[in-house]
Structure 1
Amino acid sequence: MADELELLRSVDPVRPDGPHFGDGPLDHNAERRLRQLLRDGPDGASGRLRQRPEGAHGRLRDRLLPGPGRSRSRSRSAWVPRLAWGLVAGAVVTTLTLTFVLSGPSTAPAVAAPRPLVIESGSTPLPLDRLADRAAAEAAADGSPRLRKGTHVQSWSLGMADDKPPITLPQERIVRWRPDGSHTELVVATDPRHPGSPVLSDEGDTPRLVHDRHVLLDRTYPPSWSDAPPQSPPPHDPARLRDYLTESQFTDTPLTTPELLDATATLLDHWTLGARESAALARLLAGAEGLRPAGQVTDRLGRPGQAYVNDSRGVRRMLIMDPATGAVLGLESTLTAPEPEFGVEEGDVMSYSAWMR
């Protein structure tokens, strides 16, 4: 560990009195060198900083985090797995390793994994290239939405432990940026499916019931800037957007379709896309291999959408897009095979995000 810390220190030459601030981002040269280190490892070969866990824990992680594009995943505890959204300034990181301790008289009841969204029977699938045409028309219209830094997202994640039933953790996150480069982040425990009802939270690392809209995080961050994706503004050209998303996943190799969908989620966790950026993303997704139209669906916020599905490595990802504008509404990941060790079955929802303007 000591040698890895020294390597990290060596790629961070920012001075405390420098323009990027002592607790701010790396400078541009350091960002590039750090991405290279994370991609290749300290000895020039991938793996030392990106080792995956073995056994059932590793199988679940590999299904949800395929390939080098997800190398930023990290653990908060190395000995009991789970899936959660890590909420930190500037990034939302998925992890499978947080301890759940459910014991004592005040134990919160376990909440079963939500069932996946259902395609409406008899609905006609809309090909992605046609949806991309609609998105392009929306982008050309007067008064179409503009790009805005920040996000408003409702997420559900499934927490798991070897000897406990799975529990579902719903949260809402709002990030707003100011003209001076500072930003605020508000995270609350809430589930719009059950307004006003108590919500299960893992605040303090111990699951418990809290009241609806309970504040988990309310923080203001000092000014910071970066020209590296996903902090830099996304382009509205499909080819350039592909390169942008690839760089945001810390890799130089072309993204697979699951990695492209994960990169899309990363983008939307940082930016509220305008019509031009949504059109570019729709056109890029239209060329993704194995992303097939499935039909009409109503998302978890009650919005009508068109579903596009990709199956890979035991996980089904369902992308939900606005049929009129081509904007991404949500992304759902479900298991296509059971994992008895964790009490999850085929079709259980592992994670879900619903983005709002």
Structure 2
Amino acid sequence: MTDELDLLREADPVSADTGPWRDRPLNARAELLLRRLPSQDRGRRTVRRVIWSLEAAAAATVLALALAVSGTPSSAVAASRPVPLVAHGSRADVSLAEIVRRARTAAEESPGKSGRGSHFQSWALSMKSGEDPVTLPRESLTRWNADGSGFSLEVATDPRHPGRPVIANGTPPHAVHDAKVLSEVKYPAGINGANESYFEDPPAGASALRAYLAVWSPGADRDPAELISAIESFLSVWTPGPRQRADIVTLLSRIEGLRPAGKVIDRLGREGQAFRFTPASAGMRKLIVLDPDDGSVLDVEETVTRDDPEYRLKAGDVMSYKAWMS
């Protein structure tokens, strides 16, 4: 037990200066460090990497769906494992500075308000050492009413039709097509998201928003990778209005090392402007896709930057993505 604790301390998934620990997913760097803990003197141990705290039962359900769709484990993986988004640079690309200008203009014309709740599709790679990867496609929708009551629905997507919406945004939202419901929760009046991170209304102004994000994601006020992860988490709780969209894209424009990648058609068929960010030591790369007209974050995709034979990964493989639908 002592040597295992030493290994965890060496990995340092939550450093001493990150503030009070809260119940939240580890960031990409922390997960990668934990996954690569040395194990030569302990035999071959199984290490699982599950992104966004998806429950084991949900993972099993999604895998069962994939197997039922394709008929065999190998074809299930091949059918549902995504390829990286491909961006193409050209003279028609919209710069990040121009996207910021457009977002600010839209916010001045109609500030609007951010809405509590979010609708997105996501995929994450879960792995066992020496085995083929297991895919976890899903779609999530959360909505809140004026009286504080709410509704949350999470549904497995069909790997035969990637990107096809499987939740109808009605009252209440409900699953459509061949979707398998993973979780369905109704919240009574007065809850209003108080059991979630970022439950307070977001402030106006880019600097104020960054400080707000850092309350829930310590490090977001000084670490670009933490800031991007915090924005992802925030967008899983809130649908930003024009003012918050402008603040978010302003924060992104201040990240040193965020490089233009070109135009891209995302997994939902939308055209966006893509930007790449590669942290210095995480072994991963982020691709952030923005709506060039209003600055909305459409997608965030994470890929590995180097081969990892133990987990059958090659440089460029997709580790996870999120595509926001509203």
Shorter-normalised TM range: 0.7 to 0.9
1:246: Cα distance to partner?
Answer: 1.2
Provide closer, same or farther for how the CA distance between residues 227 and 244 of structure 1 changes in structure 2, counting only shifts above 3 A.
farther
Q: What CA distance in whole angstroms lies between the structure 1 residues aligned with 2:292 and 2:247?
A: 15
1:274: Cα distance to partner?
Answer: 0.4
CA contact (8 A) 2:259 2:276 kept: yes
**Structure with greater proportional helix content:** 2
Residue number among 247, 250, 266 corresponding to 2:218 in the alignment: 250
**Structure with greater proportional strand content:** 1
1:231: Cα distance to partner?
Answer: 1.4
Q: What CA distance in whole angstroms lies between the structure 2 residues aligned with 1:195 and 1:141?
A: 36
* Equivalent residue, structure 1, for 2:77: 111
Residue number among 157, 164, 174 corresponding to 2:124 in the alignment: 157
The aligned amino acid for 1:332 is E
Q: What CA distance in whole angstroms lies between the structure 2 residues aligned with 1:339 and 1:219?
A: 38
* Equivalent residue, structure 1, for 2:174: none
| Correspondences of 1:15-54 after superposition (within 5 Å) | 36-38=19-21
* Alignment deviations for residues 249-282 of structure 1 (CA, whole Å, 9 cap, x no partner): 035x733111111001011000000011101111
CA contact (8 A) 1:257 1:290 kept: no
TM-score (norm 1): 0.67
- Indicate the SS of the match to 1:301: coil
* Alignment deviations for residues 82-111 of structure 1 (CA, whole Å, 9 cap, x no partner): 2333359xxxxxx9xx899x9999874441
* Equivalent residue, structure 1, for 2:321: 352
1:303 aligns with 2:281: no
1:145: Cα distance to partner?
Answer: 5.5
Gaps of 5+ in 1: 1-34, 40-51, 61-77, 89-94, 200-210
Q: What CA distance in whole angstroms lies between the structure 2 residues aligned with 1:347 and 1:275?
A: 33
* Alignment deviations for residues 38-78 of structure 1 (CA, whole Å, 9 cap, x no partner): 28xxxxxxxxxxxx689772369xxxxxxxxxxxxxxxxx9
Provide closer, same or farther for how the CA distance between residues 160 and 302 of structure 1 changes in structure 2, counting only shifts above 3 A.
same
Root-mean-square deviation over aligned CA pairs = 3.6
CA contact (8 A) 1:83 1:350 kept: no
Q: What CA distance in whole angstroms lies between the structure 2 residues aligned with 1:295 and 1:55?
A: 31
CA contact (8 A) 2:31 2:49 kept: no
**What percent of counterpart residues are identical?**
39
* Equivalent residue, structure 1, for 2:246: 279
1:168: Cα distance to partner?
Answer: 2.1
* Equivalent residue, structure 1, for 2:41: none
Provide closer, same or farther for how the CA distance between residues 220 and 238 of structure 1 changes in structure 2, counting only shifts above 3 A.
same
* Equivalent residue, structure 1, for 2:144: 177
- Indicate the SS of the match to 1:119: coil
- How many residue pairs get aligned? The number is 272
1:214 aligns with 2:175: no
The aligned amino acid for 1:111 is V
